[in-house]
Every structure is written in structure tokens, then in C-alpha cells.
Structure 1
Amino acid sequence: MKNRDPFKYFKTSPEIIRLAVMMYVRFPLSLRNVEDLLHERGIDLSHETVRYWWHRFGPLFAAEIKKRRVAGLKSSRWRWHLDEMFVKINGERHYLWRAVDHEGEVLE
């Protein structure tokens, strides 16, 4: 069974659709702000078009991201970086440590 192309009947390129949806989802922008930013880059479309694309392709993009994230967790790319040291403060010895994973999340 072939995978259907979700962008088949759209005149706009898949890269522009993906850019508009990801700008709306990733950054705290309104639909009109996304419209303005794309207009500055020479892409004329309505904020309603961005909303439609978000409803249509948002779950598809979320599933792709989730699939990549799960695949990344299963591989050996999962790494932690640990930094530790002893420090003297007012004559008392203290142990400090910090762990950071591959995504930049800090374990406190």
C-alpha cells in the first residue's frame, strides 16, 4: 500500500506549508503575525490559510516529530553530560554537580 501524499491537491509547496505551520506552533505568534512574517519573505497568504493548514497538517507534523523523538530515544544518541566539583565556601567543603541531556534539559 502506497503512502498518500497529503500535499497532493495544494498549489502551495510543502516547504511553505511546513514553514507556516511550524512558525505558528513553535513560536508564540498569532496567525496574523505568521501572515506578516511570511509576507515580508514574499509569500502572500491569508491568516485563515495558516489556520486551515494548522488544523489539516498539525497532527501530521506532530506525529512525525513524535516518531523521530521516539526513534532517537531508542538509539544510542541519548547522552548525558555530567559536571561535578568540590568547592570551599567559608571553610566548608561543598559538592556541586549538574547533569545535562542531549536536548539541553538540565537535571537539578
Structure 2
Amino acid sequence: VQQLRAFSKWTWHLDEVFVKVNGKRHYLWRAVDHEGEMLEAVVSKRRNKAAALKFRKKLMKRHGCAEAIVRDRFASYKAALREMGVLEKQQTGRCLNNRVENSHLPFRRRERAMQCFRRMRSLQKFASVHSSVYNHCNQERSLASRDTFKLARAVALSEWRQLCSG
């Protein structure tokens, strides 16, 4: 199990996004690793310590412990981390959390195209599916040559088609 969770020893970036569900404000808590891959997305009605603690526990159950946790200066994160006893692992700073802030952009584009969500459950399902598809198909075009990018995109597309057919 530890070998499977070895990837979780990295830096996590935590943030929350305001999302309207049927005209009411809800919160989508998101965790991104140091490479920009989405780890977890949880929807809640509240934005408090209990919701942050629930999100953090779910994240740890699935991915183990992180080496460092980058967060914004939202007080609920600090309270939840203090209660879990990992306050020394946190990092806050002016531009440290840009990785997770930028990961909201593809989600927001897709959300705008869908126009709105009717139920909390559909938002939760959409967020988890969208993140897994985006993680699989995102090839970081700016970091690779054209030939490498096209090859990686073709491999990801063929894997995706194989997953969808079977």
C-alpha cells in the first residue's frame, strides 16, 4: 500500500471555489498536486472548519499524507490542520497557491458551457469525472515539442477510447 501511495509525498495545493447550484451558493473544495493534477474534489454547503476537516480527511484517506500543504489564508484550513496536528506542514504566501487557482479555469469554462447545475450530486459527479478526464488528456502543450505532444495526445486518446469501449 505504501508503494502505491508513494506519489502522495509531494506538495498539495488546497482551495475552494464558489459554485451556484439551483441559484444557491455551494463550495467546491479542490486539491491539486505539485504537477497540477487534480487529486480530489468535494462539494459542501458550508465553508467552515468542519467542511475543511471533512475534505482533508477524505483526501488523506485516498492519497496518504503530503509533505507540504499550500493553501490560501482562509482560516478554516488552519483550524482543520491544527486539529489534525499537521500545522507545521502548511505554507501560505502571496503567489504560492497559483497552481490550484489556475486549475479552476478549465472547470469554469466547462461549467459556463453547461450553464448551471440543478443538484449538488450532479455537481459532485461532474467535478470528479471532469478532473479525471482532464488529468488524463492534459498534455501540457507548452512543455513539449510538437512531435512529442502529438504522440502523447494520440496515446492518451487511444487509452481513453479503450476505457470507454470496455
TM-score category, normalised to shorter length: 0.3 to 0.5
- Normalising by structure 1, report the TM-score: 0.34
Q: Comparing both chains, which one has the higher relative contact order based on Cα–Cα distances under 8 Å and sequence gaps of 6 or more?
A: 2
- Normalising by structure 2, report the TM-score: 0.25
Query: Greater helix share, 1 or 2?
Result: 2
